[in-house]
Structure 1
Amino acid sequence: MSSILRLGFPVAACLGCSAILAQVPGKTEPRYPTRPVKVIVAFSPGGGVDLMSRLVAQKLTESLGQPVLVENRPGANGLIGSEAVARSTPDGHTLLVTDRGGLTINPSLYKSLPYNPLKDFAYLGVSTELRYVVATSAALPISSLQELARMAKSRPGVLNFASVGTGSLIHLNFEQMNAHLGIDLTHVPYKGTVRAVTAVLNNEASVMMSSFAGVAGFVRDGRLRPIAVGRPTRSPLLPEVPTVAEAGGGDDTVVAGYFTFAAPAGTPPPIVARLHAEISRIFALPDVVARLDLAGLEPQSTTPEAFTEGVRRDIARFERLVKKLGITPQ
């Protein structure tokens, strides 16, 4: 799988790089934190991103010696929360949690963004990946991607796919997979995962893509059938379900989602290094890993520089895809 899909290397392996980052010769390390730290989450309360943010805030409160408070600022595909952090004082006391789409797809969906993903943030290099499951209604006679492709080719214009919005990562993932399979499923956007799942259950939509946490209950009770997982290897939660690549959907078509931490650009490097080290340590704690696993989230850690370069590559990749699909920026 392309390196663009992986955020870095295992968390434990990256703890040592924080010590290197922290060695800033000739500078006195600033006192930090000197007051409560605010973590602005660019999404509504609830769900995996909120769970991750609050787990990390709780553990940071214990290790930093100051309260770390989560504040949800949802709206406009993450623009509201991201802008608030981009314009905040760069002293490490205001942090952002946003997702891959907010950083790398939004630049292609909006004519003017209130922030620049490559200039306005200091990325901490710590994230949780969200792997997707491709699922159909159990009522449909489809048990694999190849069967989906055969049915789509034999009944052109009949099958469709549900996403959580035009230009969303799930929408773009489906379009990439469709192109690889040589099919043309109709895109039907819904407002959120719950509505997309309901559409598939009611046979309004043929197939969807979601985190496993979003469909787990329906998979267990037999109403949804998983036919592929967007991972480099099979999921331990669904060991009998092939990866998208194994199922013939391509090696590089289903991009993982992620939720990541950032500070405003200009935050002193020693503060960025300390936060990187602290959150990397938290992501390696067994109780945290277990809680995140239940939400379908996989901790990842890399250097801030490597993460920033990944954002740069993603922006270029999704810009090409959005243009190819003819999506008009707002």
Structure 2
Amino acid sequence: MKKMLIAICALAAVGSAWAQKNEFPNKPIKLITPYAPGGSADVLARTLANYLSVEIKQPVIVENKPGANTMIAAAAVARSPADGYTLLLASNASMVLNPLLYKKLAYNPDKELTLLNILAEAPLVLVSNSQTGIKDIESLKAYAKDHSGQINYSSIGLGNPLQLTTELIKYRLNVAATHIPFNGSAPALTALMSNDTQMMVDVIGTSLPQIKSGKLLAIATTGLERSQFLPQTPTVAESGFPGFRASTWFGISVPTATSPIIKNQLQQIINVVMQKTDFITTLTKQYLVAQKPQSQAQLDAFLLSDRKTWHQVIADNHITLDN
């Protein structure tokens, strides 16, 4: 009788799991993005939503909640019902950097959010202007030595992944430069082109028109391999700093309390979308690099590695965004 009861309980558990798997999803899903409409991250979210809708046969609605270094959107998803119907367009800002930059955070990504997929990376490039004569990493180091205390770098704001990448480059190259923050890429690049600043790390897609026109010079890209968008430009890693890697990445997170069955189902469905040729092509047109599906163990290891890299930069430079 005892064995029979155990068997009945086991079958009930399996039956419940099966029912849960086949009932989900049965209503629209919200995809919350921390960015304003129109940018490459927003295009990524809407592209994923379109493909995901086809796969699950339910609408996937993109909701923009920009502001506070992605914290508004991340906190909203962390506090949402853990039922799989609210997704976050996550990034290294929301999952890695914010916990290092803020002592007081409206959400805890380690406890309240689980990363299910990394969809794409936005490759970065270190750029300068023609007036400096900086053409590569070696000439940057020489320029920094000859112009000690006179180098400024543009950024789109303190604590932004692009600014922190510049700090990582400074740290690895032992180059001194003063941070000049701007409200957006346009004024930051304008200052660079007028030589008010002498270097900047930017998303390749934003700087590429100015690079092609000759107004900016691509010094080095920050991936482990050369960028398909700037194949003639060497990486920081191959310029004498092996292992150097930095990028802005985007993925999908859900509340950690979400059922493991639903997490796995969402992960697998999104993995299917990630491998579709049209999806990859759309991302490439936005100067995004589509990523291959990873296991949960690989994703968890990646987050730990990313956190370790940025913790060193932030701690060494005493960067905090708390008021």
TM-score of the superposition, structure 2-length normalised?
0.89
Matched, 1:50 2:38: no
Cα RMSD after superposing both structures: 1.8
Q: Which residue is equivalent to 1:89?
A: 81
**For residue 273 of structure 1, what is the aligned residue in structure 2?**
264
Separation of aligned partners in 2, 1:85 and 1:102: 11
Out of 297, 304, 307, the residue aligned to residue 305 of structure 1 is 297
User: Hey, what does 1:236 align to over in structure 2?
Assistant: 228
Matched residue, 1:12: none
Deviation at 1:277, TM superposition (A): 1.7
Return the alpha-carbon distance in structure 2 between the equivalents of residues 221 and 264 of structure 1.
Answer: 45
- Counterpart of 1:118? 110
- Indicate the SS of the match to 1:126: strand
Q: Relative contact order (C-alpha < 8 Å, sep 6+): which is higher?
A: 1
State the 1:28 CA deviation: 2.2
What CA deviation, in whole Å up to 9, does each residue of 1:8-48 have, x standing for no partner? xxxxxxxxxxxxxxxx9673241111111100001111211
Instruction: Report the count of equivalent residues.
Output: 306
Q: Return the alpha-carbon distance in structure 1 between the equivalents of residues 186 and 136 of structure 2.
A: 23
- Give unmatched runs, 5+ long, in structure 1: 1-23
In the TM superposition, structure 1's runs of 4+ consecutive aligned residues that sit over 6 Å from their partners are none
Give the TM-score normalised by structure 1: 0.87
Q: 2 CA distance for matches of 1:287 and 1:233?
A: 24
Distance 1:252 1:177, change over 3 A: farther
CA distance in 2: counterparts of 1:192 and 1:283, whole angstroms = 30
1:132–1:209 Cα contact (<8 Å) kept: yes
* Alpha-carbon distance, 1:126 to partner: 3.1
Identify which of 24, 28, 33 aligns with 2:18: 28
Structure of greater Rg: 2
1:281-320 aligned at under 5 Å gives the runs: 281-300=272-291, 301-320=293-312
Q: How does 1:66-215 map to 2 (within 5 A)?
A: 66-215=58-207
- What is the CA distance between 1:127 and its match in structure 2? 2.2
In the alignment, the residues of structure 1 paired with residue 301 and residue 105 of structure 2 have an alpha-carbon distance, to the nearest angstrom, of 20
Report the residue type matching 1:294 in the other structure.
Answer: K
Q: 1:193 to 1:252 in 2, by over 3 A?
A: farther
Compare the two structures and name the one with the higher helix fraction: 2
Q: Counterparts of 1:203 and 1:87 in 2: how far apart (Å)?
A: 45
Percent identity between the two aligned chains: 31
CA distance in 2, matches of 1:164, 1:213: 15
- Residues 147-181 of structure 1, C-alpha deviations (whole Å, 9 max, x = no match): 11101101101112112222222222222222222
Question: Which stretches in structure 2 are left out of the alignment for 5+ residues?
Answer: 1-12
